[in-house]
Structure 1
Amino acid sequence: MNSSADASLDASVDASPDASLVTPSAAGHDTAALTTQLVHHAYQPPAGFAAPQPPVYKASTVIFPNVAAMRAREWKDKTSYTYGLHGTPTTYQLEERLATLEGGEQCLLVPSGLAAIANVSLALLKTGDEVLIPDNAYGPSKALAEAELQHYGIRHVVYDPMDPSDLAARITPATRLVWLEAPGSVTMEFPDLAEQVRICRARGVIAALDNTWGAGLAFAPFDLAPADGDAQARLGVDISIHALTKYPSGGGDVLMGSITTRDQALHLRIKLAHMRLGLGVGANDVEALLRSLPSTALRYEAHDRSARELARWLQGQPAVAQVLHPALPGSPGHAQWQALCGGHRGGEGLAAGLFSVVIDARFGQDAVDAFCDRLRLFKLGYSWGGPMSLVVPYELASMRARSTPHLRPGTVVRFSIGLEAVEDLRADLAQALQGAFGAL
């Protein structure tokens, strides 16, 4: 280190109230004293460093200047810091940006999308309560209700997401929470989300939406219908959960979820449960989300365009009995998608890069599995929203409590379209269709 730097360091050490504890001993290089100096080093870098990406703060312990500050600090409103699990500058920044993305006011980070569902459910439900879940909900959400929630004496009821009257009929005095999903998992039905929320609001029941597909981009979950300028009259969900694992991450390498609300009292109920459950996220994962978040909209549109092109092409393939994509006419709930999402992008609307097909019933499960195995660019794997295209065949009978007359007979295969060239993906689909099902 040059002499000017030495002088600067000496000044910073001397200025520290603990300088006497960390100043090198005149007796020479004392290893024991050096260890203490490394732990309690007095140097502080100068303020004013600015860069495109925010700094990453990693901490369990947070240092307080005195006992009074330790007792006075409050973590619930993000005005200060008490412990790493309750928030750092890094996590606060991501939460605020996600609240903006979804149109909310408060946001919490959790380790996964499923953790977000569990956090909400455990915060708002108690023994004797009832939760309503759409029949086409994310599978692990239903499994959570069937196992853990039931163990706590919380009843769950499955409703038809495409029939608002069925939802209304199933709400009872014990109902405390209704889960919504748009579109449904795997089979991609798009419900009348605004009407579902109206029903919940009229009955005084909290409406929570799994908004992973919409990603805060396809539609605004807290503003589902015009409110004539009256902020209090906005028709929106009470809670939006988001598997950040998907589009906000975009890399297929981060597990994280979020819970966004507009109501402060509701947010506090969820946040206190979040604290008691000990839910936290790693700073490196938060950093990855902060880096990828600005490109979410660009990537979402790219996934969307490729998915629609391939879905339309698959509509003309003989082995495909039905294509399930909310943005395509004829798909279950297309009119509802058009009403809610169709105003974006010059009337073209927005939809995620996700769709399913029904392979004609004349082909058995073995042939469908062979089709999936023959794909080269599409990889077999769960999740979606990353750069690599994925495919999964499903046994729908084991996933639904109700009949599905809106679906053609056959086997459902879901595609997550990545960022590969669409021409290459189409060629991959063509060779797999030919190889598995032959020339029809």
Structure 2
Amino acid sequence: MSANKITDLIHHPYQPPEGFEAPQIGVHKASTVIFPNVAAMRSRDWKNKSGYTYGLHGTPTTFTLEERIASLEGGLQCVLVPSGLAAIVAVDIALLGQGDDMLLPHNVYGARLGLTQEELPRFGITTRYYDAMDAADLAAKITPKTKLVWLEAPGSVTMEFPDLPALVRICREKAVICALDNTWGAGLAFNAFDLDGQGLTVDISSQALTKYPSGGGDVLMGSIVTRDEALHHKIKLSHMRLGYGVAANDAELVLRSLPSIGIRYRAADQSARQLAHWLKTRPEVEAVLHPAIEGAPGHQNWQNLCRKRPVAGIESARSATDLIANEHRSEGYAAGLFSIVFHEKFSPSQVDAFVDALKLFKIGYSWGGHLSLAVPYDIASMRNQNVAHWPYRGGLVRFSIGFEEAADLMQDLSQAFHALTKLREN
């Protein structure tokens, strides 16, 4: 010990004993990582999680979250990034270069349009769009310059559910890498790495962990999951060069929420379906856009991918868990997210007034949390209106269903519809 108390504090010899175990893992915060000697410093490799070198490259907390997200998605490798949009950016930057072409669905997540329209062109990367509901359109638009195809299931805001296996098969036939934004599915609605039960797989599955994996509306984070080691290595090295990292406390929050993701996802799904069916009966509503609701765009595609046949003999299952799992196989998963289209007679300002009249539903972006949200969208400003399967002209409102009682949310919607009627009468 030195004669200086501050130095003694910095170099205090105490080490807590090994063997502590609790439901949640420890939160390891670090930029600097200490090595026992120079040989260890020079020999450690962070890329395969065999050792720690620098906080940006991983700690026990982030490594654990990566492994659990990979398992949830059905993949083998995962890297974490600061947001869902950052996951998309990281894939684009890792795989595309000057002269390359990328294809996006017409109903792509709106926030990524700025990247493709303003940023990527400066690097000589072109972006074109295909009709996600027409596999032949994708096939026709893939050229020798096409290096990456992005998929969404369902489409952003308008919720069209594509024939995902058909789109992936086309990418396989054309030898083009395909990446899926799987935030809606959350690794639960379907297995992106085995779409047909025979190993048909996307190359990359990204998520905004901000949504269902976090579940609290208080974390920004994204993930990139793969099964191919060489592809993962390429993304991971680019990820390192971009300097992407996530905070240990944020990783802790997602780790704490993950064990309940199935219960939360199913609860939101059930309430959303109840409300969606009721909204179909409302005279103000022209269409309900929910993949699990009959008549919605791509409903049959959702059934084919997300609904599974019950397991034979399950009626003799010994546990309630087995019975519940079998029920979910037959009903399928569909998240707690859907949109409605108002009849054309309602002006945009009247649709906005309807949203303003809601009390339990709050106005806010994102979804997947405990609080129900509503946001009106101007579809004409978001994408090409000439896509054949978008016949509507009325205003659209997207709902994210939280954990409030469905009956209370229904009452809230009813009073907002009543306020809308009075507004039109005046």
Q: Is the structural similarity TM-score above 0.5?
A: yes
Distance 1:333 1:346 in 2: 19
Corresponding position of 2:417: 433
Residues 405, 411 of structure 1: alpha-carbon distance in 2 compared, 3 angstrom cutoff: farther
The structure that has the greater radius of gyration is 1
1:133/1:142 contact within 8 Å kept = no
For 2:213, what is the secondary structure of its paired residue? coil
1:360 corresponds to which of 339, 343, 360: 343
Cα displacement (A) at 1:347:
1.1
Sequence identity (%): 62
For 1:410, what is the secondary structure of its paired residue? coil
Corresponding position of 2:36: 65
1:104/1:222 contact within 8 Å kept = yes
For 1:99-110, list aligned pairs within 5 A: 99-110=70-81
User: Once structures 1 and 2 are overlaid, which stretch shifts more, 389-398 or 402-411?
Assistant: 402-411
2:211 corresponds to which of 243, 246, 259: 246
Corresponding position of 2:311: none
Please list every run of 5 or more consecutive structure 1 residues that lacks an aligned counterpart in the other structure. 1-22, 26-32, 228-233
Corresponding position of 1:290: 255
Distance 1:277 1:24 in 2: 42
Corresponding position of 1:5: none
Corresponding position of 1:47: 18
1:120 corresponds to which of 65, 69, 91: 91
Distance 1:400 1:24 in 2: 68
Give the residue type in structure 2 aligned to 1:58: K
Distance 2:378 2:33 in 1: 49
1:249/1:289 contact within 8 Å kept = yes
Corresponding position of 1:420: 404
Cα displacement (A) at 1:24:
5.4
1:208/1:241 contact within 8 Å kept = yes
2:189/2:332 contact within 8 Å kept = yes
Over residues 77-131 of structure 1, what are the superposed CA-to-partner deviations in whole Å (9 max), with x where a residue is unaligned?
A: 0000000000000000000000000000000000000000000000000000000
1:175 corresponds to which of 122, 146, 154: 146
Corresponding position of 2:378: 395
Over residues 112-151 of structure 1, what are the superposed CA-to-partner deviations in whole Å (9 max), with x where a residue is unaligned?
A: 0000000000000000000000010101122211111111
For 2:240, what is the secondary structure of its paired residue? helix
After TM superposition, which residue ranges in structure 1, 4 or more long, deviate above 2 angstroms? Answer: 404-409, 437-440
Give the residue type in structure 2 aligned to 1:104: G
For 1:144-155, list aligned pairs within 5 A: 144-155=115-126
Corresponding position of 1:156: 127
Cα displacement (A) at 1:405:
4.1
- Confirm or deny that 1:276 pairs with 2:234: no
2:182/2:205 contact within 8 Å kept = yes
Give the residue type in structure 1 aligned to 2:184: W
User: Once structures 1 and 2 are overlaid, which stretch shifts more, 399-408 or 207-216?
Assistant: 399-408
For 1:7-86, list aligned pairs within 5 A: 23=1, 25=3, 33-86=4-57
Give the residue type in structure 1 aligned to 2:10: V
Please list every run of 5 or more consecutive structure 2 residues that lacks an aligned counterpart in the other structure. 309-326
Over residues 406-440 of structure 1, what are the superposed CA-to-partner deviations in whole Å (9 max), with x where a residue is unaligned?
A: 34331111000011011110000000011113499
Give the residue type in structure 1 aligned to 2:224: I
- Confirm or deny that 1:186 pairs with 2:148: no
Corresponding position of 2:324: none
Corresponding position of 1:409: 393
1:135/1:402 contact within 8 Å kept = no
Q: Give the superposed CA RMSD.
A: 1.1
- Confirm or deny that 1:235 pairs with 2:219: no
Distance 1:240 1:379 in 2: 30
Give the residue type in structure 1 aligned to 2:39: A
For 2:395, what is the secondary structure of its paired residue? strand
Over residues 205-244 of structure 1, what are the superposed CA-to-partner deviations in whole Å (9 max), with x where a residue is unaligned?
A: 00000000000000000000122xxxxxx10100000000
For 1:219-230, list aligned pairs within 5 A: 219-227=190-198
For 2:157, what is the secondary structure of its paired residue? coil
Distance 2:56 2:208 in 1: 20
Distance 1:93 1:429 in 2: 41
Distance 2:111 2:399 in 1: 19
2:279/2:288 contact within 8 Å kept = yes
Cα displacement (A) at 1:401:
2.0
2:131/2:387 contact within 8 Å kept = no
Distance 2:294 2:28 in 1: 48
Over residues 236-263 of structure 1, what are the superposed CA-to-partner deviations in whole Å (9 max), with x where a residue is unaligned?
A: 1000000000000000000000000000
Distance 2:196 2:386 in 1: 31
2:180/2:206 contact within 8 Å kept = yes
Over residues 296-331 of structure 1, what are the superposed CA-to-partner deviations in whole Å (9 max), with x where a residue is unaligned?
A: 000000000000000000000000000000001100
Distance 2:256 2:181 in 1: 23
Corresponding position of 2:323: none
- Confirm or deny that 1:209 pairs with 2:192: no
Over residues 29-74 of structure 1, what are the superposed CA-to-partner deviations in whole Å (9 max), with x where a residue is unaligned?
A: xxxx100011111100000001000001000000011111111110
Distance 1:304 1:404 in 2: 28
